[in-house]
Every structure is written in structure tokens, then in C-alpha cells.
Amino acid sequence: MPRRAPTHHHHVYVVLLSDDVWNEPAFRAANPEHDILKPCLYVGMTGLDPDLRFDRHMAGIQANRFVLKYGVRLLPELYQVYNPMPYSAACEMEVELAIGLREAGYGVWQA
């Protein structure tokens, strides 16, 4: 029996956070170079569809506290090009995407 090629089903995703997240000391401390003209974001990685993962955050299921309290919507224009990918690549891309967005002036939380 031939082996099936593994399917890649992991994704990185980016959530727009409301500006009120800036009032959180931990968020401010993580983003000392934040350009106040750019939005605040959450960068994550999941084995689920990003839309489903966002819904789970907003329902409080395995939710990041900043997404639960300040999540507005997904920003697929910042991540769609990378998806889907293998688990190991998604782990690396989550960190790299967060670093790149932070270097571009965005306020970023990545757990």
C-alpha cells in the first residue's frame, strides 16, 4: 500500500487588537518601540483553521487573555501567504512573523 504524503494543516494567524490593549503594562513593556500610528496585534499558530481558532479565543476556549479581551478581527492579509505549513515551520514562522511585525513598528503580542 503506498504511503500518503503528509498534509500540512498548521497555520500562523494575526489578530487585530483594540487600541485599549496599550493600557496593559505587560503589552507596553513588550513593545517599547511601538509606532503609535500602527495597530496592536496578536500573532499565533494553530492546527485549526484560523477563523475557527479566532472564534475559540473569543469564546474563552484556550484563549489568550489579550485576544479574549481586545480581539477585533483576523488580518489575513498579514498571514495567508504562509499557510498551510508543517508544524515545525509554523512554530518558526509564528516567531519570525511576530519579530518582523514588531520591527515594522506594530505592537505585537506573541505567546
Helix intervals (H) in the chain:
25-30, 50-58, 65-70, 87-103
pLDDT band at 5 (very low <50, low <70, confident <90, very high): low
Instruction: Say if CB 11 and CB 84 are below 8 A apart.
Output: yes
Contact 82, 102 (CB under 8 A): no
Interatomic CA distance for residues 1 and 35, integer angstroms: 56
Residue 23 confidence class, pLDDT cut points 50, 70, 90:
very high
Q: Per-domain residue ranges for the chain? A: 11-109
Angle at 50 between CA 47 and CA 56, to 5 degrees: 90
Condensed to tens digits (0 to 9), the pLDDT of residues 41-82 reads 999 999 999 999 999 999 999 999 999 999 999 999 999 999
Q: Do residues 13 and 85 lie in contact, with contact meaning Cβ atoms separated by under 8 Å?
A: no
Confidence (pTM): 0.93
Q: Residue 41 and residue 43: Cα distance in Å, rounded? A: 6
pLDDT-derived band at 101, boundaries 50, 70, 90 = very high
